């Protein structure tokens, strides 16, 4: 049996777009004499559709698309993911399902059993779990269909009480087919492959796996669809961060030569590629074309500009330099040099005059009080005001340039430098920002080296440095990583050797600044634990504050 794998960049709720891509892949598979073509989890609707699933009209459109797709399945079969209605009177209203289409109609529907409800997943909010296990008999083969998480309950640390493949294996299938929506983080590829190979080893069956690719707001999907034979040999591996299509022959897979497993790129290269895809898809799927950002001469805005240019093209990104009376000459020069290196249009708009106007307006109320964070934030908010004015006037989308370290401890100004339609670096720690800048400069100087080597500064008061307010970033980032990603408490961190006063101060900053993170733009997710939908913390709380 020849099986085509269609790795597609879907668009949530864009039924016409998704349907066209699915139909194109079916026709291509027909031309290449495939017997079956496999698509990803919730392919028809896109993943994750979230509360769109609560609208009858949305579900109706899924069924309309499926019926049109089924008509194309003449001389070929397809497995397509879609939400379906639960006809029963008990349980949730919907299932997360895989449709088996053949001979121009829906032949069978197979539901997802294990519904993840952790981190970025909340499938049990919408879907009922499957309790009936059936296989598909097609062209002399028995197909065991599972959906993403259904294969993940394996190994020593089991999250669920049941295992779908333990039930399906009793029906003596010939192949496992898993349709997935497995999001990217820089650890995902290794974990995902380990799980898939463990299933092959346990059940002694070949496995065909099809994943999503592309960005859905902050969630990034890296693709990497693959096929493994029953001996645990990798027979096919698809590209990452781009659409792909290919065919495997079940018979030939068992004797096919080993496909060399790709050499996994270093972490920073993966994150780089993911962010570029994330920016590109965010703009493309929303119908935006042009971005704007404040270019300070610092490392964060420099890196954001480079990534935006790679994603959108240099003619579609506009840089705005907003020097204050505290900005250093070298920062302005660094920003200009970068804009010139990238051939990006830029403007210089000094903010000293509007700042003086605010200072004059507030003088009667601030009389006799020292310059402090209020005046610093006024400058940041003037910059935010100017950038949003340009965004409104010219239709640009403002890119936020704050990094994860700053977002964690609240080192940013609401309605100022925390403005934006998309946070590019909100899941990238400061030390990773430096690492990615060096990665970008690995062949030639793109980001001025002075931008990378000078001490970070917000330049909102004379001779200001980030280290005046925060521990050195190598220490800060490690504490943040251990607390946020590893969920280690203060006593554990102190036992690891970190200074007790620093630990308590940093954890207090993280928790007391939750209110700020509630008001930030969506952050492209590249780590196993990102701010946003995957990390849900109360604001009015006293833990570690």
pLDDT tens digits, one per residue of 6-33: 999 999 999 999 999 999 999 999 999 9
Q: Is the pLDDT of residue 262 over 90?
A: no
Instruction: Give the separation between CA 418 and CA 381, rounded to whole angstroms.
Output: 9
Q: Is the pLDDT of residue 467 over 80?
A: no
Instruction: Give the separation between CA 517 and CA 512, rounded to whole angstroms.
Output: 10
Q: Is the pLDDT of residue 261 over 90?
A: no
State yes or no: is 112 an active-site residue: yes
Decide whether 2-252 matches 270-517 in CATH topology: no
Strand locations in 380-516, DSSP E? Answer: 397-400, 422-423
Q: Model confidence at 458, in pLDDT bands (50, 70, 90)?
A: low
| Active-site residue, from 2, 21, 61, 112 | 112
Q: Model confidence at 73, in pLDDT bands (50, 70, 90)?
A: very high
Please enumerate in sequence order all residues whose Cβ is within 8 A of that of 158, keeping only pairs 6 or more positions apart, or say none: none
Q: Is the pLDDT of residue 85 over 70?
A: yes
State yes or no: is 62 an active-site residue: no
State yes or no: is 72 an active-site residue: no
Mapped onto helix, strand or coil, the DSSP state of residue 331 is helix
The pTM of this model reads: 0.95
Instruction: Give the separation between CA 5 and CA 441, rounded to whole angstroms.
Output: 36
| Active-site residue, from 2, 19, 21, 41 | 41
Mean pLDDT of 277-302: 97
CA distances to 187, 378, 461 from 324, in Å: 41, 11, 9
Angle CA 265–269–275, to nearest 5? 130
The enclosing H or E element of 94 equals strand 94-102
Mean pLDDT of 357-372: 94
Q: Is the pLDDT of residue 418 over 90?
A: yes
Domain ranges of the chain: 2-252, 270-517
**Token duo for residue 159:** 């999250």
Closest CA to 75 of 36, 48, 109, 25: 36
Query: Over the chain, what is the mean pLDDT?
Result: 96
At residue 142, the pLDDT reads: 98
Fold of domain 2-252: Nitrilase/N-carbamoyl-D-aminoacid amidohydrolase (3.60.110)
Q: What are phi and psi of 129, to 5 degrees?
A: -80, 145
Q: Model confidence at 282, in pLDDT bands (50, 70, 90)?
A: very high
Q: Is the pLDDT of residue 516 over 80?
A: yes
Instruction: Give the separation between CA 318 and CA 293, rounded to whole angstroms.
Output: 7
Contact 226, 196 (CB under 8 A): yes
pLDDT tens digits, one per residue of 239-251: 999 999 999 999 9
Q: Is the pLDDT of residue 232 over 90?
A: yes
Q: Residue 449, Cβ neighbours under 10 Å: how many?
A: 12
**Token duo for residue 435:** 């690492």
- Angle, helices 56-72/15-31, rounded to nearest 10 degrees: 20
Instruction: Give the separation between CA 98 and CA 82, rounded to whole angstroms.
Output: 6
Q: Model confidence at 288, in pLDDT bands (50, 70, 90)?
A: very high
Fold of domain 270-517: Rossmann fold (3.40.50)
Contact 215, 277 (CB under 8 A): yes
At residue 325, the pLDDT reads: 87
| Active-site residue, from 62, 73, 148, 235 | 148
Strand locations in 401-489, DSSP E? Answer: 422-423
Q: Is the pLDDT of residue 345 over 70?
A: yes
Can you say how many angstroms the Cα of residue 400 is from the centroid of all Cα atoms in its chain? 16
Exposure pattern of 87-122 as b/e (b: 16+ CB <10 Å)?
A: eeeeebbbbbbbbbbbeeebebebbbbbbbeebbbb
Contact 95, 127 (CB under 8 A): yes
Mean pLDDT of 74-102: 97
């Amino acid at each position: 049996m020849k099986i085509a794998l269609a790795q597609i960049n879907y668009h949530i709720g864009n039924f016409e777009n998704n349907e066209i891509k699915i139909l194109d892949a079916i026709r291509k598979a027909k031309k290449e004499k495939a017997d079956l073509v496999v698509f990803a989890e919730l392919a028809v609707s896109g993943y994750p559709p979230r509360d769109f699933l609560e609208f009858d009209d949305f579900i109706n459109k899924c069924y309309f698309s499926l019926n049109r797709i089924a008509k194309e399945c003449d001389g070929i079969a397809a497995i397509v993911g879609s939400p379906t209605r639960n006809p029963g009177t008990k349980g949730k209203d919907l299932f997360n399902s895989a449709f088996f289409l053949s001979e121009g109609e829906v032949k069978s529907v197979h539901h997802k059993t294990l519904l993840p409800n952790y981190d970025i997943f909340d499938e049990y909010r919408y879907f009922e779990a499957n309790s009936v296990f059936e296989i598909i008999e097609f062209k002399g083969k028995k197909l065991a269909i599972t959906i993403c998480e259904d294969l993940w309950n394996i190994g020593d640390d089991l999250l669920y009480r049941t295992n779908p493949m333990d039930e399906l294996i009793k029906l003596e299938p010939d192949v496992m087919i898993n349709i997935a929506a497995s999001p990217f983080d820089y650890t995902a590829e290794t974990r995902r492959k380990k799980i898939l190979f463990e299933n092959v080893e346990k059940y002694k069956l070949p496995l065909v796996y099809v994943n999503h690719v592309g960005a859905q707001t902050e969630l990034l999907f890296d693709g990497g669809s693959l096929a493994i034979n029953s001996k645990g040999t990798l027979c096919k591996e698809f590209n990452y961060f781009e659409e792909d299509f290919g065919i495997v022959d079940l018979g030939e897979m068992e004797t096919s030569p080993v496909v060399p497993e790709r050499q996994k790129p270093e972490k920073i290269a993966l994150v780089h590629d993911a962010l570029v895809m994330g920016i590109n898809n965010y703009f493309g799927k929303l119908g935006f074309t042009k971005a704007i950002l404040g270019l300070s001469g610092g490392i964060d805005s420099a890196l954001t500009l480079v990534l935006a240019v790679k994603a959108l093209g240099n003619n579609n990104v506009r840089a705005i330099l907003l020097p204050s009376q505290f900005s250093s000459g070298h920062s302005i020069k660094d920003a200009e040099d970068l804009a010139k290196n990238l051939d990006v249009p830029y403007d210089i708009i000094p903010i000293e005059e509007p700042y003086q106007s605010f200072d004059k307006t507030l003088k009667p109320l601030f009389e006799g009080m020292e310059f402090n964070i209020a005046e610093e934030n006024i400058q940041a908010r003037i910059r935010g005001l100017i950038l949003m004015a340009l965004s409104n006037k010219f239709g640009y989308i403002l890119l936020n340039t704050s990094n994860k370290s700053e977002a964690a401890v609240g080192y940013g100004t609401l309605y100022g430098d925390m403005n934006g339609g998309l946070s590019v670096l909100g899941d990238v720690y400061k030390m990773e920002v430096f690492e990615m800048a060096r990665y970008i400069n690995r062949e030639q100087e793109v980001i001025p080296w002075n931008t990378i080597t000078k001490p970070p500064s917000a330049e909102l008061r004379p001779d200001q440095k980030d280290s005046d307010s925060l521990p050195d970033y190598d220490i800060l980032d490690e504490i943040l990583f251990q607390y946020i990603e590893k969920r280690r408490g203060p006593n554990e961190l102190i036992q690891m050797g970190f200074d007790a006063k620093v630990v308590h101060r940093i954890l207090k900053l993280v928790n007391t600044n939750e209110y700020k993170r509630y008001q930030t733009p969506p952050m492209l997710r590249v780590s196993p634990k990102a701010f946003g939908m995957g990390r849900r913390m109360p604001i009015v709380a006293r833990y570690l504050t």
